[in-house]
Chain A
Amino acid sequence: MQVIIGFFIILAHLVAGNLLSSLIGGFIPGSVIGMVLMFISLVTGIVKDHQIRTVATFLTDNMTMFFLPAFMGIMDLWGIIRMNIVAWVVVVVVSTLMVLLSTAFAQDGIESLLSKFRDKK
């Protein structure tokens, strides 16, 4: 029963997210809006975390399984990827490291700025 209730709550948030998403012309994916709605429901106490924990952890812990079928779809694109494989790998590697360093520097910078500000007070 616990599992069904949890799944029902999660599905309800997904549906609400999809509805809102179509209202704004699909600008933001419904599942992402659903995630925010879930957070709001948890914070406001409409949903208690123990009600969804079992199902939610099952889903997030086994995420890999859910996108295995999507991976197989890559076969259709294999030709175009193989032609550009070096460029593709370079784009992903360089961009990933840029994200890593920029977030780390931003957070480190802001933290030291804030601590200096507090010291002056």
Chain B
Amino acid sequence: MLLLTVGAYLLGVWVKKKSGLALLHPFLISIPVIITVLTVLDIPCKTYIEHNKLIDFLLGPCVVSLGLLLYDNRQIVVKNFIGIMTSVVVGSLIGIASVVLLVKAFGLNDIFLLSLEPKSVTTPIAMSISESIGGNVSLTAVSVVLCGFVGAVFGPLCIKIAKIKSPVSKGLSMGCASHGLGTARAIEMGAVEGAVSGLAIALMGLATAVIIPLFNLVLLHLIS
């Protein structure tokens, strides 16, 4: 089972490299491969997930490692401290509030609310937030990736239409809205954009992890 995960991932990375397409996320290849193998061999999904607990466990160390990303780009934060901190908090708040409003407007189930709140954050952080607030971790993971694609595809266009000038703003918005996938596109825009975007992943994760429980507390208070 572990072999299947690692193998499917390797294949995804290999296809991405060969094709040279930045948007061809390895997961687009890996997931169909895993589904096909499981169906052909008639293995239930539950068995697969249980056998992959070891890989699941590595998500935590993965988040901790993002601290290095923050450390590597600390000069940029120090230089633009007020701006970056304010913008990240604003982005995080807007992200959470818009999800709550839209989910309510569509009359969706609460599981959507709790699973989508952390959607603009990098997958491992989003999954831990989702887990701690009672969302569905899988729904969160899939939403996060969709979110990444939306930002990576339409982000550069939006930035152009909105006439955003500063490279810090461009990188920050790409990283805050679309984490890793946004950063991949931000790197194509320039070195500053790429670095700021990478940094935004970690900051956005931190901001959202702190804001969501507070936000939900206030929300609960308002309803009752």
Give chain A's interface residues, CB within 8 Å of chain B.
7, 10-11, 13-14, 17-18, 26-32, 34-39, 41-43, 49, 52-53, 55-57, 59-60, 62-77, 80-81, 84, 87-108, 110-111, 114
Contacts and interface: CB of A to CB of B under 8 A. Distances in A.
A92 B116 CA distance: 8
Given A77-B139, A95-B95, A99-B94, A36 B67 contact: yes
B90 A66 contact: no
Given A31-B128, A72-B45, A59 B58 contact: yes
Given A91-B106, A93-B150, A99 B65 contact: no
Interface of B: 5-6, 8-9, 12, 25-27, 30-31, 34-35, 38, 45, 48-49, 52-53, 55-56, 58-72, 74, 80, 82-84, 86-88, 90-92, 94-95, 98-99, 102-103, 106, 108-109, 111-112, 116, 119-120, 122-125, 127-129, 131-132, 136-139, 141-143, 146-147, 150-151, 154-155, 158-159, 162, 164-166, 168-170, 172-174, 176-178, 180, 200, 202, 205-206, 209-210, 213
A66 B27 CA distance: 11
Given A101-B158, A102-B90, A110-B87, A63 B124 contact: yes
Contacts of B84: 107
B210 A28 contact: yes
Given A7-B61, A106-B90, A67 B124 contact: yes
Given A29-B131, A108-B166, A66 B58 contact: yes
A35 B168 contact: no
B94 A65 contact: no
Contacts of B64: 10, 13-14, 17, 31, 34-35, 37-38
Contacts of B168: 107, 111
B216 to A, nearest CB: 11
A64 B25 CA distance: 9
A75 B74 CA distance: 40
A96 B138 contact: no
Given A35-B202, A108-B166, 15 more contacts: A35-B206, A38-B65, A38-B67, A69-B5, A76-B45, A91-B116, A95-B119, A96-B150, A96-B151, A96-B178, A99-B120, A100-B151, A106-B87, A107-B169, A111-B83
Contacts of B69: 60
Nearest to A52: B68
Main secondary structure of the interface of A (DSSP, over half): helix
Nearest to B99: A95
A62 B64 CA distance: 14
Contacts of A97: 150-151, 154, 158, 177
Given A74-B138, A76-B138, A96-B151, A84 B106 contact: yes
Given A35-B70, A103-B91, A103-B173, A95 B102 contact: yes
A96 B118 CA distance: 11
